[in-house]
Copies of this chain bind each other. A is one copy, B any other.
Amino acid sequence: MSPSILRKTAVAFGVCTLCGAAAAQSSVTVFGVVDLFVGVIRNDQTTTQLGEGGMSSSRLGFRGVEDLGGGLKAGFWLEGALGPDTGRGGASFGNGTTATSENPLLFQRRSTVSLSNQWGEVRLGRDYTATYWNWSVFDPFSQVGVGRSGNLGIGFAALTALQPGASYGTSVRANNMVGYFLPNGAFGPGLYGQVQVAAGEGAAGNKFVGGRIGYSSGPYNVAAAYGQTDVTVAGSVTLDSWNIGGSWDFGVVKVSGNYSSMTLDGAVNEADQDNWFVGAAAPWGQWNFKASYAQVKRGGALSGQKANQWAVGVDYNLSKRTALYATYAAIDNTDTNFTVLSNASTLTRGNNSSGGQVGIRHSF
Contact = CB atoms under 8 A, between A and B. Distances in A.
A318 interface: yes
14 contacts: A1-B64, A3-B33, A9-B181, A9-B192, A13-B214, A15-B139, A16-B181, A18-B63, A18-B363, A21-B56, A51-B176, A88-B106, A89-B104, A105-B106
Given A18-B65, A84-B111, A199 B28 contact: no
**Interface core residue of A55, A126, A247 (most chain B CB under 10 Å):** A126
Given A5-B75, A84-B111, A178-B50, A21 B29 contact: yes
B126 A87 contact: yes
Interface stretch (A114-122, A232-240, A268-276, A296-304): A114-122
Interface in A277-332: 281, 318-322
Contact of A50 (B72, B115, B176, B212): B176
Contacts of A88: 106-108
Contacts of A346: none
Closest 6 CB pairs of A and B: A104-B104, A14-B137, A14-B192, A21-B363, A87-B108, A13-B216
Interface in A58-111: 60, 62-66, 68, 72-78, 80, 82-89, 91-92, 95, 97, 101-111
B1 A27 contact: yes
A66 B361 CA distance: 12
B15 A140 contact: yes
A36 interface: yes
A195 to B, nearest CB: 11
Given A32-B62, A74-B322, A360-B113, A13 B84 contact: no
A261 to B, nearest CB: 21
B66 A362 contact: yes
A282 B137 CA distance: 49
A320 B82 contact: no
Interface string A183-210: 0100000101110001101100000000
Given A77-B4, A121-B6, A176 B85 contact: yes
Interface string A25-41: 01111111111101000
Interface string A238-262: 0000000001000000101000000
Contact of A202 (B33, B47, B114, B321): B47
